[in-house]
Structure 1
Amino acid sequence: MAADLFSSAGLDKEAPRPLADRLRPQKLDEVVGQEHLTGPQGMLTRVLESRVLSSLIFWGPPGTGKTTVARLLADQTDLHFEQVSAIFSGVADLKKVFEAARARRSTGKGTLLFVDEIHRFNRAQQDSFLPVMEDGTVTLIGATTENPSFELNAALLSRARVLVFKSLDPEAIERLLKRAEALEGKRLPLDAEARAALAGMADGDGRYLLGLVGDLLALPIDHDLTVAELAETVQKRAPIYDKGQDEHYNLLSCFHKSLRGSDVNAAMYWAARMISGGEDPGTIFRRLCCAASEDVGMADPQAMPQVVAAWTAFDRVGWPEGRLFLAQAIAYVATAPKSNAAYSAFNAALALAKQTGSLAPPKHILNAPTRLMKDLGYHAGYRYDHDFPDAYAGQEFFPDELAGDGRASFYEPNERGFEREVKKRLDYWGRIKAERQRE
């Protein structure tokens, strides 16, 4: 069949092919970097042993072997391999594929339908797979770089198991490099540091790595390149980062959690990753504002104005000098003492407000601009705090039904940073209030 494919395309089967295609694994155990799936105890290994293949979703970054593994599964379960791309196919194309699969099935031959970039199909297109999956016309394997939980219909996900493909680690990258050198019969013209840099340029993408390797091996280079020479020879791609998709939220989450965890170095790293990927610095400043309130809070009330000042300076000065202000804001928030007491308190207040409805406020804190309101007792007994020592009268401000209710004690400051002083102040006021209420 391979010969027919080449001849139908007007090509000889020995025509030059990309290095990645020539190195394509012929067996599942030759796939690198996915041993959690293809190793002795891997899920796919067990599937092949049972020879019962159900529909699957392969989720992972580009160049990690999703298409290759799908082909191998088809070959080793004796299924016809059919591939479509969601970028170039519509419902009409899918109907033709389904009809061909039904005809094939009537002759006793099953079909493995591999759908690349399956998340690009809309809801109606995704729904069209359900009947043919249920009646066994096709075994579906969909590949996606986006989180299936967000991008695929629940009905489709309920009929397929999601397998996660990992970005290739340094060990897997090195195995690919050695295979390429063995196939070509020569070593890469790189010194040790440049070889490590080449692996870093691939960013875990085996297909991209082999493209670089193929280019390097084809060049007339008579010495080992240094890192600087390698950078001049090949053009490094931008990091994988889609500002509108899953990776955007993943890196923002990593950044915020590093701030919360007081790891200033990790916070700067994740911010740099986002900036390198083309993220709007305003997005990072917005997350810094959230962390300054949610995670630092009253432990250091200066965190918020520091971030806002840095953001304002950034907007006025711009890049690249503005990176100084971004770095300072990150360092301040990451190293500030942490407290989520105010954030937690307001969440608790919101919950209690929803539970208790429209309770009437105590009359002594209501204004009485009319005679009627005075006659009804509005404002009677109100104590003006500035008339008391420490400007604190110790009155009750909650509705009568919540006065003294433990549920109404929301804000619990901790002993970190400025909030330690706030706690002392609240404890002092609490003692005064208790004394005044006994009078």
Structure 2
Amino acid sequence: MADLFETGADTAKAATGPRPLADRLRPKTLSEVIGQEQVLGPDAPLGTMLAAGTLGSLIFWGPPGVGKTTIARLLADETDLHFVQISAIFTGVPDLRKVFDAAKHRRANGQGTLLFVDEIHRFNKAQQDGFLPHMEDGTILLVGATTENPSFELNAAVLSRSQVLVLERLDLADLERLAQRAEKELDRALPLTGPAREALLEMADGDGRALLNLVEQVMSWSAPDKLDIDALRTRLMKRAANYDKSGDGHYNLISALHKSVRGSDPDAALYWFARMLEGGEDPRFLGRRLTRMAVEDIGLADPQAQAVCLQSWETYERLGSPEGELALAQAVIYLALAPKSNAAYVAYKAARKSAKATGSVPPPKHILNAPTSMMKEQGYGKGYAYDHDAEDGFSGQDYFPETLERTAFYAPVERGFERDLKKRVEYFAKLRSKR
């Protein structure tokens, strides 16, 4: 287990064989880090902390390949802290004890420890709690890295003692700078045409480490002439999109799809729908969520929307992939262009809130059935007006509990079919006021 805990010195000693390009180009100082100006700039959080000499525990949240490990290692160099790196995937409680004991020994000898924990969200609550006393007494300065939303995955106690810094995927300009740095290191230009070079950067999908791996592959080819896009794509497979069906990518993209539908943008909605399919999302999940959008955001403004979703979902079940996805795509377009109303949704929530607040208040006696003579003696059903016998088929009676004032939960909008429902609501309200 001795090799589980990696330090900068240990890595340098171990690097006796050929080193991958990504390792050779690892920045030596924070100023060499490409991208992440929102974190590393002079007025950004880390820049401010380092200038003040008050570095605290941190959580780096961001996608793979954006520099989380590198920045943590360089922070240790900048602050003269001993760097220790562990992965939550391979580290158990006994291993953590060894790390903490070694850090205590170092602290007794006058040196602090920066403990970098990769995939920190994979530690359970008890393991995360184990960091707290060592963070509080200064034994370690914790720097955690996670690709998942810390507010969902990390304990509140750990978050309260740390600052969360968001690291962003590298944009094309950042990736181009990284590619140029690789060409300088290899003393050779990429054998690609301009468009093929752009395609290579896009294949990396914002991941610097992935780009350097791609560059290393391209540089290993024997290509007498520059390769065009077709030749590049023939030799290289596009990197799979960063999408975890149970993680942040899943929830971010379904949120984007839902809001695009709500915003009546069929093109954006189709894009996010396609992104989820490309990421491997289960079309059945999308069928379920589309139906929810129809109920929540369209409602009675277009009652047909719900039926379209159910039919498309059923069509997918009968056809399967890939033909069945087209039915779901049609539902996406229908929902985006349908008139929108959440009036029924708002009314439902208001009614539930009122029902919860009023508890066990009984219905008024005049609308209760009286199958026995005793119930009739108690007044059950007395005074009930049969609506079909009333003028216009409407009695105007009050059906709320006797102790509860009449409440208007449903307020239809002036859109779609709810425009007609609004007229009906107003019509019955007018009749009710007369009777």
Q: Where on the TM-score scale, by shorter chain, does this alignment land: which range?
A: over 0.9
Q: Which of 152, 155, 165 lines up with 2:154 in the alignment? A: 152
The code of the aligned residue for 1:46 comes to T
Contact residue 59 and residue 164 of structure 1 kept, 8 A: yes
The code of the aligned residue for 1:428 comes to Y
Q: Which of 242, 246, 249 lines up with 2:248 in the alignment? A: 246
Contact residue 85 and residue 115 of structure 2 kept, 8 A: yes
Supply the RMSD in Å over aligned alpha carbons: 1.8
Deviation at 1:68, TM superposition (A): 0.5
In structure 1, the residue corresponding to 2:116 is in which secondary structure? Answer: strand
Alignment coverage as a number of residue pairs: 429
Distance 1:151 1:226 in 2: 44
- The one-character-per-residue Cα deviations of 1:16-38 (angstroms, maximum 9, x if unpaired) are 21111111112212212200111
Q: Which of 360, 363, 378 lines up with 1:361 in the alignment? A: 363
- The one-character-per-residue Cα deviations of 1:272-318 (angstroms, maximum 9, x if unpaired) are 11111111111111111111011001111110011001101110111
Give the corresponding residue for 2:380: 378
Contact residue 112 and residue 139 of structure 2 kept, 8 A: yes
Deviation at 1:415, TM superposition (A): 0.2
* Pairing 1:137–2:139 present: yes
Give the corresponding residue for 1:126: 128
In structure 2, the residue corresponding to 1:204 is in which secondary structure? Answer: coil
Deviation at 1:174, TM superposition (A): 1.5
Deviation at 1:385, TM superposition (A): 2.4
Output aligned runs, 1:149-188, within 5 Å: 149-188=151-190
Give the corresponding residue for 2:82: 80
In structure 1, the residue corresponding to 2:258 is in which secondary structure? Answer: helix
- The one-character-per-residue Cα deviations of 1:351-375 (angstroms, maximum 9, x if unpaired) are 1112222222222221222222233
Distance 1:76 1:307 in 2: 57
Distance 1:5 1:396 in 2: 79
Give the corresponding residue for 1:91: 93
- The one-character-per-residue Cα deviations of 1:224-283 (angstroms, maximum 9, x if unpaired) are 323222222112232111111222122111111111111111111111111111111111
Contact residue 363 and residue 401 of structure 2 kept, 8 A: yes
Give the corresponding residue for 1:424: 423
Indicate the larger mover: 308-317 or 124-133: 124-133
Give the corresponding residue for 1:294: 296
Q: Which of 224, 228, 231 lines up with 1:229 in the alignment? A: 231
Give the corresponding residue for 1:312: 314
Can you give the 5+ residue segments of structure 2 that lack an aligned partner in the other structure?
1-6
The code of the aligned residue for 1:431 comes to K
In structure 2, the residue corresponding to 1:197 is in which secondary structure? Answer: helix
CA 1:2–1:97 in 2, change beyond 3 Å: closer, same or farther? closer
In structure 1, the residue corresponding to 2:165 is in which secondary structure? Answer: strand
Give the corresponding residue for 1:323: 325
In structure 2, the residue corresponding to 1:73 is in which secondary structure? Answer: helix
* Pairing 1:332–2:331 present: no
Distance 1:203 1:6 in 2: 30
Contact residue 80 and residue 112 of structure 1 kept, 8 A: yes
Q: Which of 201, 204, 207 lines up with 2:203 in the alignment? A: 201
CA 1:363–1:47 in 2, change beyond 3 Å: closer, same or farther? same
CA 1:229–1:391 in 2, change beyond 3 Å: closer, same or farther? farther
Deviation at 1:3, TM superposition (A): 8.2
In structure 1, the residue corresponding to 2:170 is in which secondary structure? Answer: coil
Question: What TM-score do you get using the length of structure 1 for normalisation?
Answer: 0.93
The code of the aligned residue for 1:357 comes to G
Deviation at 1:325, TM superposition (A): 0.3
Give the corresponding residue for 1:346: 348
CA 1:414–1:171 in 2, change beyond 3 Å: closer, same or farther? same
Distance 1:129 1:264 in 2: 48
Give the corresponding residue for 1:37: 39
CA 1:72–1:2 in 2, change beyond 3 Å: closer, same or farther? closer
The code of the aligned residue for 1:244 comes to S
Distance 1:6 1:372 in 2: 92
The code of the aligned residue for 2:177 comes to R
Contact residue 362 and residue 399 of structure 1 kept, 8 A: yes
The code of the aligned residue for 1:245 comes to G
CA 1:172–1:282 in 2, change beyond 3 Å: closer, same or farther? same
The code of the aligned residue for 1:331 comes to I
In structure 2, the residue corresponding to 1:380 is in which secondary structure? Answer: coil
The code of the aligned residue for 1:140 comes to L
Indicate the larger mover: 184-193 or 52-61: 184-193
Contact residue 299 and residue 337 of structure 1 kept, 8 A: yes
Contact residue 303 and residue 333 of structure 1 kept, 8 A: yes
CA 1:358–1:80 in 2, change beyond 3 Å: closer, same or farther? same
* Pairing 1:109–2:111 present: yes
Distance 1:366 1:6 in 2: 84
Distance 1:392 1:170 in 2: 67
In structure 2, the residue corresponding to 1:81 is in which secondary structure? Answer: strand
The code of the aligned residue for 2:340 comes to K
Deviation at 1:377, TM superposition (A): 2.8
The code of the aligned residue for 1:29 comes to S
Contact residue 205 and residue 239 of structure 2 kept, 8 A: no
Distance 1:160 1:133 in 2: 9
Deviation at 1:5, TM superposition (A): 5.2
Contact residue 41 and residue 47 of structure 2 kept, 8 A: yes
Distance 2:214 2:90 in 1: 27
Deviation at 1:4, TM superposition (A): 7.2
Contact residue 413 and residue 420 of structure 1 kept, 8 A: yes
Distance 2:136 2:226 in 1: 56
Output aligned runs, 1:42-57, within 5 Å: 42-57=44-59
Percent identical: 58
Distance 2:115 2:377 in 1: 81
Deviation at 1:6, TM superposition (A): 5.2
